[in-house]
């Protein structure tokens, strides 16, 4: 259940990482292991979205649909119909030989990036990073990468050299027990220093040992990231929270953002939250300026 957040949510706030599924009679689901078709559809998410006081969202392709992005496009259209023409964007997964026509169709439907990561079942393989980045650069898209503490140090130089922005999922998925001097975290900070890297302040519950309400074991990492590049942080719920067998309260995840944005005064912290929830996602996902 989603409670009411304590944080003051600014107009135009964006949930930059959600997954929404579709009716299995219309969208082919590719099961693996014990995973079965999730019953988490757009109407259910819209209740969470409204309870949090959000305005926009980014739907990330689940690898369970492999390279068939029809469900993402359908849910972007449904969200736009419910909330307004410019409230939703998408992140896709495509085949290495994706056609120009398919990329154009995805762009018209609201997609603004592609998701890579060896950790993802059926995700896009990093061997294709450079070739795909060249293809999507003219579209103004970015690469979204699901890293781990194992692969990030080795990949950082390649990611930083790409001709498109790179957005790292879920705080880099670096165990919070590691210090900010760990090689993976130093690699992430170096990427941020290069000016072409973004980070999603999302899903701390996946690795946190402290858990809710504060996920305080992630404080050092999250605050270091915000301090390093507040202009390139975005936030997301990761609804409906795959990979855990419990349902985090999304309002608490939103309130944690306030704790990760300390400032010399309240106005400074509020301005940083505004950046992360509104201004930064508007830039990364090509949302229009607010009226």
**Using CA atoms, how far apart are residues 128 and 211, in angstroms rounded to an integer?**
36
Token representation of residue 186: 């130093």
Under CATH, domain 14-284 is a member of which superfamily? Metal-dependent hydrolases (3.20.20.140)
Terminus-to-terminus CA distance in the chain, angstroms?
32
Report the alpha-carbon angle 77-89-161, nearest 5.
Answer: 150
Residues in the chain with pLDDT < 50?
none
Prediction pTM value: 0.95
pLDDT digits (tens, 9 = 90+) for 103-159: 999 999 999 999 998 766 566 889 999 999 999 999 999 999 998 888 899 999 999
Q: Cα(156)–Cα(93) distance, rounded to whole angstroms?
A: 21
User: Would you state the pLDDT for residue 85?
Assistant: 86
Collect all residues with Cβ–Cβ distance below 8 Å to 55 and sequence separation of at least 6.
11, 12, 13, 14, 83, 87
pLDDT at 34: 65
Torsion of CA 53, 46, 203, 16, to 10 degrees: -70
Give me the residue spans of the domains in the chain.
14-284
Are the CB atoms for 191 and 155 separated by under 8 Å? no
Taking the CB of residue 68, how many other CB atoms lie within 10 A of it?
A: 16
The DSSP-derived string for 120-157 is STT-B-GGGHHHHHHHHGGGT-EEEE---TTTHHHHHH
């Amino acid at each position: 259940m989603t409670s009411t957040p304590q944080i003051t949510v600014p107009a135009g706030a964006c949930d930059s990482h959600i997954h929404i599924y579709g009716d299995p009679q219309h969208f082919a689901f590719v099961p693996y292991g014990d995973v079965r078709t999730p019953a988490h559809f757009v109407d259910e998410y819209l209740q969470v979205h409204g309870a949090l006081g959000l305005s926009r969202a980014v739907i990330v392709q689940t690898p369970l649909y492999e390279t068939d992005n029809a469900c993402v496009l359908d849910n972007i259209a449904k969200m736009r119909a419910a909330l307004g023409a410019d409230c939703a964007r998408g992140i896709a997964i495509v085949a290495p030989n994706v056609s120009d026509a398919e990329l154009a169709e995805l762009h018209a439907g609201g997609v603004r990036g592609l998701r890579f990561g060896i950790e993802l079942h059926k995700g896009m393989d990093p061997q294709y990073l450079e070739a795909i980045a060249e293809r999507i650069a003219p579209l103004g898209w970015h690469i979204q990468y699901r890293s781990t503490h194992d692969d990030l140090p080795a990949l950082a130089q390649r990611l930083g050299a790409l001709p498109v922005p790179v957005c790292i999922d879920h705080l880099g998925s670096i165990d919070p027990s590691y210090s900010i001097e760990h090689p993976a975290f130093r690699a992430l900070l170096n990427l941020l220093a290069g000016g072409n890297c973004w980070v999603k302040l999302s899903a701390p519950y996946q690795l946190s040992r402290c858990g809710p309400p504060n996920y305080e074991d992630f404080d050092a990492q999250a605050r270091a990231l915000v301090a390093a590049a507040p202009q390139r942080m975005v936030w997301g719920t990761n609804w409906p929270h795959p990979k855990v067998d419990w349902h985090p309260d999304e309002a608490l995840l939103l309130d944690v953002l306030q704790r990760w944005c300390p400032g010399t005064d309240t106005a400074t912290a509020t301005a940083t939250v505004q950046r992360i929830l509104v201004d930064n996602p508007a830039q990364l996902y090509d949302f229009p300026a607010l009226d």
